[in-house]
Every structure is written in structure tokens, then in C-alpha cells.
Structure 1
Amino acid sequence: MSEYIKLIRFHNSGFNTTPYNSSSFCHSLPFINYEVTDLQTKNAVVNEDDFIRPKIDDQKWKGCFVFLEEYDKNLLIDGALVMRESHKKNVAYLKAEGQTIWVRNTAHTGKEDRYVNQYIKYSEHEGKQYEFYEYIGFHSNFYWVKMKIDLALKRLILGKRHFGYVPEWLSECYMMEHQVKEFKTSKLFGLKEQAGRVLSFS
């Protein structure tokens, strides 16, 4: 039996992929080359060169934003998705095994708890090299870190239990183009859905 994860996107163009930073729209928040393997991780330290800021129209960073399994419906009423209220709701499925995705740099306990919070900087003085730590910044909870999709689902469950609902940053993720190409639709593949999970092919 194969298990598939449900993905949701509100967009009239479906799961179209575009460069993360494009000529028409830029995202200022970078990716961190760091994989979270333990949901209890907080305040990890990375190197300065672990920050990835894709260039304008960089085709290697094509992808799209989706919600993992579920989303806060209030986002369509008075939240970040108001501008997509009349857009088509697209649903697809991705085989979970072996998938690593990008999630927000925020632990399931809230925006004050970040997986990565500092980075190491190096400086040289009189022939000697020194290292010191700097905090990433105020919006670092919205940066992107890597996580296995199974762990991201556990994060979602714990976060929903903690808050009583699903905040946008908790279920939102960024999927790379090669992953989007693996998406399957329930209509096309005849997948049987139960309680938000696709269990098997019919």
C-alpha cells in the first residue's frame, strides 16, 4: 500500500511553477541550507554561507507554494488568501517516501521558537581569524529550512494541537519544480481519499 500526502493550492493556474524570485515578483526571505531532523530543535547555529538567496529568474529555484494536508479557512476571509478567494482550489497528491520539502523556520510551538536563529561570522585581525555569532534577524521565523515530509506532518499535528487551529506558516511549504511534476490528481488517478489522506489506488 502506497501512502500519498495531500497538497492544496489556491490559484487559477493550478500548480504552476515560477522562479522563487522573478522579474514580476520577488521574495526577500531566503532559504537556509539546514535540515531539521528533530522537532525539539531550537536556536541552531549555521554558517553565513548556508543562506541561499535565489537570483532573479533563477530556473533552478522554480517551484510553488502549497498547503500540506490542510489550511486555515479564515485565510480566505480576512487573511493572506483574500486575494485568492475567487481562485480555483487545486488538490494534488505526492508520494511521501523520500521527499524533503521547505517549511518555515518556526517550531510547532510558535514564532518565537525558531529552528535556526544564529549564524557564525568570521573576521580576521592581525593575521588571526576570529568567529562570532550573530542573530539572523526579526523575520527569521519566515525563512525556509529543509524537513522530511513525514516529519513536517508530525509538526503539523503538534502545532494544530498546540494552537487549536492551523496557522498559515505551519502548513505552508515550498515545493520544487521536480516535485510538482510528480503530483497526481485524484480525478486522473482514481485515488481513494479517507480523512484527508490518500490510502491507495482504486
Structure 2
Amino acid sequence: MFADRSDAGERLAAELERRGVAADVVLGIPRGALPVARPVADALGAELDVVVARKMGAPNNPELALGAVGSDGTVWLNDDLVDRLGVSDSYLEDSRAEESENARKKADRYRDSDGMPDLEGTRVVVVDDGVATGATATACLREVRERGADHVMLAVPVGSPGTVDSLESEADAVIALRTPADFRAVGQYYRDFGQVSDREAIEYLDGDR
């Protein structure tokens, strides 16, 4: 059990240091990952920025994720679910375009600069506060890879065992501190799992917390 996201970040940072992980850039998935990613970036002496993806909801059921799309349009789809629901290609394309633009706008809210740092040839650690379905994490990892990163790692405090296993095909390495067999939701492994506001997230990016 983690006290809160900052506690999880400190523990994750310690594990990455113990393993001798090196990184040029740490990318948190906002908003919840920023308190986790800040201590990781500090421990690794790396720049902290964000990578953003948005879920693509099913027709008439937006909470059911068909997949996710990054701010650059990189997409991951749950093909089995898409086929089972008979979702049309036109719906998927419209959703991809809309949610990609939403992801871009969200990323821009956190940055003073124009866009993500140049990742060509870099070592990148993508951090989230946990993974359940892995939809957004997958889209984020694919975007980082598309931007030319040389080595891509995903680091999380906790995740579903099956999801963590599947994400190993999307990254060069995946580190999860806990993969409980009875995993149901990320929040059950935090005593305090309150929402992180945009203002708080930006403070973590600026190093003010």
C-alpha cells in the first residue's frame, strides 16, 4: 500500500536507482502521474515532461474504451472489442481525430515550450501512477517510439499482472513495483488517491513541489 502518489514516486525512484536505470527524459502521463514522475526525474537527473493519450470511447458508451490515441495521432485499438461491437471505420477515424486533438490541447496546457522535447536517440522513462487496462499507456509508449526514442521504459508503482505482461511488447523494459494477483483498480493500492488538479500537475512539472 502506498501512502499517496508522492510516496509511490519515491519508492519507484529508489527501485530505478537500485537497478542502475539511466534516462535523458522522464515523461509523466497527466494528471495523476506527475506526483509519481517528479521524484523519478529528480533521482535520475532527467528532464521531466508529459506524454498524453486519450481514450476512444465506444458508440453510446463513452466509458468503454475501444483504444487510445496519442497527441500525435498514434493509436492503439482493442481489435477484439472493435470487432465484437461492429464499430465502423468512419467512427474510429472520427474518434481518433477528435481525441488526438483533445490530447494535443491537454499536453499544451502543461508546457511553456512548443511541443514535446526532441526524443530522437534518447533514453525515455514513461511513468504512470498505475496501469489497469493499459490503453493510454500503450498509446503513449507508441508515440514515444514514433518520436525516435532509442530506449523506452515504462515504470509504474502498481499494475494488473496481465496488463504489465502485455505492455512488455510495447516497451524495451517495464518495471512495476507491485503486480497483485487480486488487482481490481489502481486506487485500491493507495491510501490517498485524490485527483490531481491541473495547477498541481504544472507545479510538479516546474519542480515547485
Under TM normalisation by the shorter chain, which class is it? under 0.3
Structure 1 or 2, whichever has the larger Rg, is: 1
- When normalised by structure 1's length, the TM-score is 0.27
Which structure's residues are more often strand, by fraction?
A: 1
Greater relative contact order: 1 or 2 (C-alpha under 8 angstroms, separation 6 or more)? 1
TM-score, normalised via structure 2 length: 0.26
